[in-house]
Structure formats: structure tokens, C-alpha cells
Structure 1
Amino acid sequence: MHSRRDFLQKLTATALSFPLVSGVSTEVFAHSKEVHQNEKVLKVAIMGLGSYANRVADAMKDCKRAKITGVISGTPSKVKDWQTRFNIPDKNCYNYDNFDAIKNNPDIDAVYIITPNAQHHPQTLRVAAAGKHVICEKPMSINAKEGKEMIEACKKAEVHLLIGYRMHFEANTLEIVRMQREGELGKIRFFQGLSGFRIGDPTQWRLNRELAGGGAMMDIGIYAINGSRYMIGEDPFWVTAQEVKTDPVKFKEGVDETITFQLGFPSGAIASCLSTYNMNYLDKFFLNGDNGFAEMQPSTGYGPIRSWTNKGRLDLPHVTHQTTQMEEMAAIILDGKKAVIPVDGEEGWKDMVIIDAIFESLRTGNKVEIKYA
């Protein structure tokens, strides 16, 4: 079975190293390991013990401020395996029926939800009601309405809602965002985001509309949507979109195979993006400004990320994305730290608003105004 995660891992595994361009600040990617003995540690329960959960868990072994202390799964054999690997006591193990009981468990501060997309909304509401912080994988929900309800539930419970945007903490990404924000690229005119791979097993949940909420757009296309926003530094206000489907058996009604879409931004910048489950080796960002450009390829894989600008190569040192993500999210929850690129529920909701607009454009064939309300 081939999944996005298998693809991203293979795509970046053999990337070659290049010298760093001179003069690049290292502040944006420094992964601090200097943690005082008395600093709090975020105690995390992982919900959903699939392949990506295992990647997160392995990366968290190197975390100083985030630790796996519990699990939630519907598969007893997986629970037993994780108990052995991470020394998790029976009292911190739950299934999908009884996990509301985490409310009374001081060993768990937050729950990282890594389940099929359609389950994020109800599970977030339950975790919030239990008084625990929520870290939810992207997409945060299957539509903007559900995303807004998740935000409101977490606000009511006075808990954090963070979305698993690992790229928001990645070194090359942060350096290019810094260059854009500080005007080094001049006025931004254009962004291109290409996100895709050929998906395998036709029976997997990512090709099940009821569980995934769509197809490639919900899985891989969201990278281009989110990337356009943080690379340009604005939120788009219109979209046009076109869909191509070559295999209606594999990609059933409501499960998109390939979508091209265009976004317009208040400054006049435009974005041209592609999301697909039917083309390999599509993992590229390109940002163009009056005074320079930045390019990343791979741009969102598991690393190392490769990048360059009109000034030369960046290729900043690679740190496992999920390690950095969880360290930074612990600091957000425990210390009130502000992320350079937001990872809160509002950030996730805006992507869902855009996805809703893309699907509306496909349905109507019209240019659609994006309304954040």
C-alpha cells in the first residue's frame, strides 16, 4: 500500500546535501536542546495508532518537553505494542468508547488526534469537554462549519486547539517567510504550489469519502493551500478551480483525483496550484517577487527540504519535523509562546474555508469569493 507518507519519505530520503548560502541567519531553525531541569513537560496521549502516529512517536523520543504518556485506539494489539515501546501503564490506555475518562487522568495534558479526517470533529469536541488540550492533524475537519465548532468548543473549555502543521516550524520554510516579511524579495507577485503522488491501495480510508471528506485535496492539496498563505503572507479572497478525473472507479463520486486551482490575494498576488493523487514527484513551492525569488523542492516532504533563492542555496540543517513541532507546541501550550507561522484552530479553519470554496467552484464552474465569516 502506498500512501502520501510513504511517498514523502521516499521522495526526500535520497536528496543530496548542498553548501549553505553565506549570510543566512540560523536563528529561525535553531532547535534548542537547552532545557532547564524544572521546565514543565507536556504529557501527550496519541489517538489513532497508525503509520503517521508511529512516525510522531518515534520523533518524540528526542523531545525534551513533550512525552507520550497515553494512547487511545480501537485496536487492542496496537495498544499493547505501544505500552511495551513507550512504557505506558494500563491506566493511561483507552479506546474510542471510554476515552472521555481522560478527564480524571492527571498523566495526560493533551491529546494528539491522528485519525481519519471525518473523526477529527467529534473527537476534538470530546477531548475538549474532558478539559484536555487538542493537537489535531490536518485537515482539522471535513468542512469549515465543523472547524468553527471545534474552535468554539476548545475556547469554551479553555484549552488549546493546535493543528499539525509541521512545516510551520521547518528551517527553510521559516527563512523564506522571514525574507518575504522583511521585504528582501520585494513585492510578491506569484506563488506556485504543486502537491501530488500516485496513491496505491484503492480500499484505504483516504479514498473513502465518508472518512476522508474528499480525496487528494484533503490529503496533499492542503499543503499548497496553506503554503500559498504563509509564503505570500496573506489570505486569498477568490478562487477558481478545475477537476480532472481519469479513473472514476478508483476515485468515486466525491473523491477528487486531480484539481488545479487559482487563488487571488488582496495585494494583487496570484497563486496557481495543483493537487493530485495521480502524478508522482510533485512537491514544489515557488515564490516570485519584484526583487527576488525562492524555490523549494522537496517543499513539504519529511526532509531534508531543499531550497534556494536568487541569492543562492539555503538547504538549512535538517531536524526531524515532528520533533521540532512537538517541542514548539509544548512551548505554546505550557509557556504561551507564539509561533512565527500560526498553528492554532483559526489557521486550520481558514484552510477549510478555502477548500469549501474550491469545491463550490468545481460544482458551479464559477469564480468564488472566499468569505472568512
Structure 2
Amino acid sequence: MSITRRSFIKSTGLALGYSLLPLSNLYSNSGQKQIGVCLVGLGNYSSTVLAPALQITKHCKLTGIVTGSPWKIPKWQKRYSIPDQNVYSYDTMHEIANNPEIDVIYIVVPTGLHAKYAIRAANAGKHVWCEKPMAKTEVECLSIIEACKKNKVKLTIGYRMQHELNTKTIIGWAKTKPYGNIKTLRAEIGYNVGNPARTWRLDSELGGGTMYDLGVYALNASRYTTGEEPISVSAKQMTTRPDIFTETDETTHFTLTFPSGAIAFGKTSVGKSMHELYVDCENGWYTLAPFSMYAGVQGKASDGTLLNIPVRNQQALQMDDDALSILNNTPVMVPGEEGMKDIRIVEAIYKAAKTDTEIKL
């Protein structure tokens, strides 16, 4: 159904007073310009994580929303002082091209819709922040990258862990190798979800599936921990609840082989709780447990080194880093090519599991 912004406001009974709200102040207390961010999709992650994080960022500010749910608009406008002219539907989001208060469009819709709306955002001439996983297929990832290049806008993928300080230490160790070469690593992430609701995460067409939703953290960790790209993958998928997981995987095991000889054992599930990255090297080991939760990421190494740098808010740090790349016109930390590399491997994991063969990459 096509719903215009005007009908959004009318259908929710907003008083004229909302249209008289002051324009967003796009300058911080220090007088530095802040990047105006528009969230596309007002689901749980936007409402409970990203929007609150934007209230404590230094270099960006929530200035607009795109939603297909008119009833959400009054609450968001009241809570975040978003004026009528910065409220859009999916059908009208192309009009953001004419809005100078919005610099970035952050795509936070189901994975299977990322490409559609990321391309629409790029065509509006706005920088694109796309939540992980980047898209459902490598072809879709490439289409996003090409649209952003064509419109000369920056593209970054929401891999918050690559901004997290303890994780950045491990990323650095991939080059310095303080404990020698990596022999094996184990990356496991999972939650015991007793009775998962019938949401898009159980819908294969929308990009649902445990490997896409959670497993991509273990996959990305395997890559940034080794600093290498895998050359082959094997995988197995299973479920203990076939009545629920009719289209998507409940549990996925995957094994990656790297050029150096390092081997990564990955596991992800919504049937078991687990959350650890463990790295075994020639001269020691190190671990992060948990390694990708929203808070409390910490770990240690075999020589007693602690990985416990506190991070106030991972998402705020991520968005500030990405805003600075725009303000300073510098390369983004996590470009679209990084997201596409993971999706290429995710597709290979599903193929390997289906055919029960090792896939060369």
C-alpha cells in the first residue's frame, strides 16, 4: 500500500504542533557539525539500540526516520523531536534527496531487503550505512557497492565489533603475531531460544537463518583474527525442531581453511547458548568470551595479558567512527567489500552443507 508522509501524519492524528517543532540542531556543544542520520526500519534494533546510542554520539545525530508503520511515528517524534518534514515512508524515502538535514541513511530492515533500500538511499545522494549482514547474496552486495560508487557516496557495513577496542587489539595481533602463527581458532555464538517467534528470521526469502543472523559474527571473527581470506569451506546444518525451522537453519557448523594453514572451527545456533572466540597459536593462546555481545566483551591471553578495555557503547562508537570518515573524507573502517566477502562465504557454507562437500573459495 502506498502511504505518503502526509497521510502518515494525518492517519495518526498528529496535531499541527508537531509540524512546528524546531529543526534539529546539527551542531554539537563544541560547535562541530554533526552528521544527520535517518533510520530506515524502526524495529527492535533501531528502537532499543541504535536510536538510544545516537543520543550519546559526538559526531552524529538522529534527524529522520523511514517506516511502514504509521502508528510508530508519534512516539518517535515525541521522544526524539523529529519534525514532520523528516518523516518518510518506504515509498517516499527517495524524497530524502531534497533534505539537507539528513546526511546518512542507515538501513535496518530485514536482510533480504537491504539491497533494495540501500540502493534507493544511494540514489538519493546520501551516504549509506547498512546493517550486517550486508545482503542475502554476493550479487546483491555488488549492486549496493556499484550504486554507492555511481552516486559518489560512502558505504559502510554495521560490523560494530571491528570498532570495539578489545577486538581491535586482536585484529592488530593478526599482523604482529605476539604468540606466533595461529594454528586453530574456534568461534562460537549461539542462544538457547526456547520457542522462536515467527518473524522474518525464520523466512528464507527475507534473509532469515541462523548463519546470516548470528553466524556471520563467527565468520567475520575468523577472518579478522587470522587477517586472511579462507581458501576452502565445509559445513553441516541441523535442527532439533523441524516443525519450526522449516526454511532456515537452527544450527550450523563450518570449517574454514586459510592459506597459512590455520583452521577455523565455527558454530552458530539458536538452540544452544555459547559465546567465545578462542585462538590457539604456536607460542600461546588468547580468547574473548563473550566476543560479540553488545557489552562486556573481554578476554585474556596465556601470558596473563588482559583484554578488558571498557567501551561505553559499541554502537555509538561505531557510528561516531563512521561519521568521522564522512566529516574528514577518509576511508571507512568497514567498507562494502568487507561485507561482500562474508556473504560470498555464507553462500558457500550453505552450498557445502547442502552438498556435503568441501567448497573451494
TM-score scaled by structure 1?
0.86
Partner of 2:199 in structure 1?
Answer: 204
- Contact 1:114 1:136 (C-alpha < 8 Å) held by counterparts: yes
- Contact 2:174 2:224 (C-alpha < 8 Å) held by counterparts: no
- Contact 1:202 1:250 (C-alpha < 8 Å) held by counterparts: no
Find 1:102's aligned residue among 86, 96, 102.
96
| Matching of residues 66-145 of structure 1 within 5 Å | 66-145=60-139
- Is 1:56 matched with 2:50? yes
| 1:158-200 per-position Cα deviation (integer Å, ceiling 9, x unaligned) | 1111110001111110112223322212111211100111234
**In structure 1, distance between residues paired with 2:177 and 2:352:** 33
Structure 1 residue 38: Cα displacement? 4.6
Find 1:309's aligned residue among 298, 301, 304.
301
Larger of the two Rg values belongs to structure: 2
Structure 1 residue 92: Cα displacement? 0.4
Partner of 1:364 in structure 2?
Answer: 355
- Which blocks of at least 5 consecutive residues in structure 2 are unaligned? 1-27
- Contact 2:277 2:291 (C-alpha < 8 Å) held by counterparts: yes
| 1:295-323 per-position Cα deviation (integer Å, ceiling 9, x unaligned) | 01111001111211112222111321011
**In structure 1, distance between residues paired with 2:329 and 2:177:** 28
- Is 1:178 matched with 2:146? no
**In structure 2, distance between residues paired with 1:198 and 1:136:** 27
- Contact 1:195 1:220 (C-alpha < 8 Å) held by counterparts: yes
Residue identity in the other structure for 1:155 = K
- Contact 2:252 2:268 (C-alpha < 8 Å) held by counterparts: yes
Find 1:266's aligned residue among 259, 263, 275.
259
Residue identity in the other structure for 2:354 = R
- Contact 2:41 2:107 (C-alpha < 8 Å) held by counterparts: yes
Partner of 1:319 in structure 2?
Answer: 312
**In structure 2, distance between residues paired with 1:37 and 1:244:** 54
Identity %: 39
**In structure 2, distance between residues paired with 1:74 and 1:214:** 20
3-state secondary structure, aligned to 1:152: helix
- Contact 1:180 1:186 (C-alpha < 8 Å) held by counterparts: no
- Is 1:352 matched with 2:343? yes
3-state secondary structure, aligned to 2:192: coil
- Contact 2:111 2:208 (C-alpha < 8 Å) held by counterparts: no
**Structure 1 consecutive aligned stretches of length 4 or more whose deviation exceeds 6 Å:** none
TM-score scaled by structure 2?
0.89
Residue identity in the other structure for 2:345 = I
Partner of 1:292 in structure 2?
Answer: 284
Residue identity in the other structure for 1:309 = A
Aligned residues: 331
Residue identity in the other structure for 1:368 = I
- Contact 1:191 1:286 (C-alpha < 8 Å) held by counterparts: yes
**In structure 2, distance between residues paired with 1:358 and 1:336:** 36
Higher mean C-alpha displacement, 308-317 vs 51-60: 308-317
Partner of 1:24 in structure 2?
Answer: none
Structure 1 residue 36: Cα displacement? 8.7
Residue identity in the other structure for 1:360 = K
- Which blocks of at least 5 consecutive residues in structure 1 are unaligned? 1-34
- Contact 2:211 2:252 (C-alpha < 8 Å) held by counterparts: yes
Partner of 2:322 in structure 1?
Answer: 329
3-state secondary structure, aligned to 1:126: helix
Partner of 1:279 in structure 2?
Answer: 272
- Contact 1:243 1:260 (C-alpha < 8 Å) held by counterparts: yes
3-state secondary structure, aligned to 1:124: helix
Partner of 1:257 in structure 2?
Answer: 250
Structure 1 residue 269: Cα displacement? 0.7
- Contact 2:200 2:208 (C-alpha < 8 Å) held by counterparts: no
3-state secondary structure, aligned to 2:295: coil
- Contact 2:37 2:61 (C-alpha < 8 Å) held by counterparts: yes
Structure 1 residue 338: Cα displacement? 4.3
**In structure 2, distance between residues paired with 1:334 and 1:182:** 31
